[in-house]
Amino acid sequence: MANVGTDLPRCVPLGGTFSLNARSFLTGTPFSSSKYTVFPGFCDVHVHFREPGFSYKETIASGSRAAARGGYTAVCTMPNLNPVPDCPENLSVQQRLIDGTAVISVYPYGAITRGEQGETLADLQGLAPGVIAFSDDGKGVQSPEMMRRAMREARALHKVIAAHCEDNSLLRGGCIHDGAYAKAHGHRGICSESEYAQIARDLELAAETGCAYHVCHISTKESVELIRQAKKSGVDVTCETGPHYLVMDENDLREDGRFKMNPPLRTREDREALVAGLLDGTIDMIATDHAPHSAEEKARGLEKSAFGVVGLETAFPVLYTKLVLPGVVPLDRIVHALTEAPRARFGIPMGQDYTVWDLDAEDTVESARFLSQGRATPFAGWQLRGKCVATYCGGKPVYPDDKTSVCQKASQSSPSADGE
């Protein structure tokens, strides 16, 4: 992927209309030189912007500006909100906030069940025109029959079901992976089966119903293999994993709430299986599961802190530094998983969306400088390569802008949302 010409920015992917359009668009800007690399705008299909209902954790304004700083021009927001977007009336509350405050393209999910309680189907038909897909993220749908009904209706509506796979009967109050670290430090663990057992169930239902099925934040080697085999058998399934699962495992854990997320960091073997799955296409895309909380909610150690970490502002530098530069995963594969794959699966258009990076720039992760209201990152203190210098959404500059300081608000104390 050598640069073409000495005065042009490098484009990834190289060639075709993207390179021509990107270089033409950047002509006359400070970013038209070979010092910079331009990518299509990143797309994250799994974020929590907390609004409406929990704006002390994050707002659509702060979350979307953080996304722009990370090179993202499109995100999909999960429905564990208040009110839960389980009917058009509730969805409209969130949509008004998006329309009024988002600086990038924000696509809301609709809930699968009323209140994400798993007991009654949400108004899927009424929601369908205004949502990107359906999910009860933060909770697994426990009833097989409820999931079957949801899949049948989603298929009729030509919508994706995006599942947070978690069997509640296997959780047993765990806070981290049920592995060596949990045993050594006396923590209750979350077993791998709590994830992959529900994936196995849902893959059978997806095969039966013909539903377009997407698995959120997979973390276990068993999950990778189940999805690999399902794809081979023709099931319409895609999946995502997060940057932290690709570069960290339970050996990196510390007694600190910034290492607590759901699903948890698992074993080295699980991490290696995830990387292999990304390389062979079993894992389609990378999503951050950006899940901000207040400082107070993340200051209670591994046992008592809320589940969830932030990731939009660190995702690409982490992936580039830890996977691309050592030669573990090619840059093209990372970029595909951040751009083309999520957009293709969820039908998200790519207009004049570009993100410009200085891949030689080095920086230390300091959460105090985040534009997100969330500060809990497992990458604090890491030395990373790659700095976003500009992001354009729909041809308009969205990072940097003159409003980013607006998002630097002090966190406040308030009751937590369910799950991540």
> Does residue 18 sit in the same domain as residue 166?
no
> Does residue 308 sit in the same domain as residue 270?
yes
> Does residue 156 sit in the same domain as residue 13?
no
Answer whether the bond into residue 263 is a cis peptide, omega within 30°.
Answer: yes
Q: Is 59 a member of any domain?
A: yes
Quick one: pLDDT at residue 402? 64
Q: Report how far residue 290's alpha carbon sits from residue 294's, in angstroms, rounded to the nearest whole number.
A: 13
Q: Which residue, among 349, 351, 360, 418, has the nearest Cα to 389 in the 3D structure?
A: 360
Q: Is 417 a member of any domain?
A: no
Domain boundaries, position 117: 42-389+399-407
> Does residue 11 sit in the same domain as residue 59?
no
pLDDT at position 404 over 70: no
Q: Report how far residue 87's alpha carbon sits from residue 109's, in angstroms, rounded to the nearest whole number.
A: 11
Q: Is 232 a member of any domain?
A: yes
The mean pLDDT of 245-256, rounded to a whole number, is: 98
Q: Is 418 a member of any domain?
A: no
pLDDT at position 415 over 60: no
Convert 360-398 to b/e letters by CB count within 10 Å (16 or more is b): eeeeebebeebbbbbbbbbbeebebbbbbbbbbbeeeeb
Quick one: pLDDT at residue 6? 54
Answer whether the bond into residue 88 is a cis peptide, omega within 30°.
Answer: no
Local structure of residue 265 (DSSP, 8 states)? P
| Tokens, residue 403 | 């409003």
The mean pLDDT of 381-397, rounded to a whole number, is: 98
Tell me the pLDDT band of 307, cut-offs 50, 70 and 90.
very high
Q: Are 296 and 413 in contact (CB under 8 A)?
A: yes
pLDDT at position 180 over 80: yes
Quick one: pLDDT at residue 409? 38
> Does residue 31 sit in the same domain as residue 136?
no
Quick one: pLDDT at residue 403? 59
Tell me the pLDDT band of 5, cut-offs 50, 70 and 90.
very low
The mean pLDDT of 139-149, rounded to a whole number, is: 97
Quick one: pLDDT at residue 16? 83
Quick one: pLDDT at residue 411? 35
- Over residues 86-125, the pLDDT tens digits come to 999 999 999 999 999 999 999 999 999 999 999 999 999 9
Tell me the pLDDT band of 419, cut-offs 50, 70 and 90.
low
| Tokens, residue 277 | 């799955």
pLDDT at position 4 over 90: no
Q: Are 59 and 66 in contact (CB under 8 A)?
A: no
Q: Is 325 a member of any domain?
A: yes
- Catalytically annotated residues: 289
- Over residues 314-339, the pLDDT tens digits come to 999 999 999 999 999 999 999 999 99
Quick one: pLDDT at residue 161? 98
Q: Report how far residue 91's alpha carbon sits from residue 211's, in angstroms, rounded to the nearest whole number.
A: 23
Q: Is 413 a member of any domain?
A: no
Q: What is the separation of C-alpha 65 from the centre of its chain, rounded to a whole number of angstroms?
A: 15
Local structure of residue 219 (DSSP, 8 states)? -
> Does residue 142 sit in the same domain as residue 183?
yes
> Does residue 225 sit in the same domain as residue 179?
yes
User: Within 10 Å of residue 142's Cβ, how many Cβ atoms?
Assistant: 16
| Tokens, residue 393 | 């959404």
The mean pLDDT of 7-15, rounded to a whole number, is: 88
- Over residues 189-217, the pLDDT tens digits come to 999 999 999 999 999 999 999 999 999 99
Tell me the pLDDT band of 14, cut-offs 50, 70 and 90.
confident
**Range name among 17-26, 61-70, 100-109, 407-416 with the lowest pLDDT average:** 407-416
Tell me the pLDDT band of 15, cut-offs 50, 70 and 90.
confident
- Mean predicted lDDT score pLDDT of the chain: 94
The mean pLDDT of 184-192, rounded to a whole number, is: 97
Q: Are 139 and 116 in contact (CB under 8 A)?
A: yes
Quick one: pLDDT at residue 7? 73
Q: What percent of the chain has pLDDT over 90?
A: 92
What's the number of domains the chain is made of? 2
> Does residue 104 sit in the same domain as residue 170?
yes
Q: Is 248 a member of any domain?
A: yes
Q: Are 221 and 293 in contact (CB under 8 A)?
A: no
> Does residue 53 sit in the same domain as residue 17?
no
> Does residue 155 sit in the same domain as residue 267?
yes
Q: Is 412 a member of any domain?
A: no
> Does residue 265 sit in the same domain as residue 317?
yes
Q: Which residue, among 283, 338, 332, 326, has the nearest Cα to 13 in the 3D structure?
A: 332
Helix 193-209 × helix 221-232 angle, to 10°: 10
> Does residue 48 sit in the same domain as residue 11?
no
How do 42-47 and 72-77 pair as beta strands?
A: parallel
Whole-Å CA distances, 391 to 1, 68, 74, 148, 406: 22, 6, 11, 41, 18
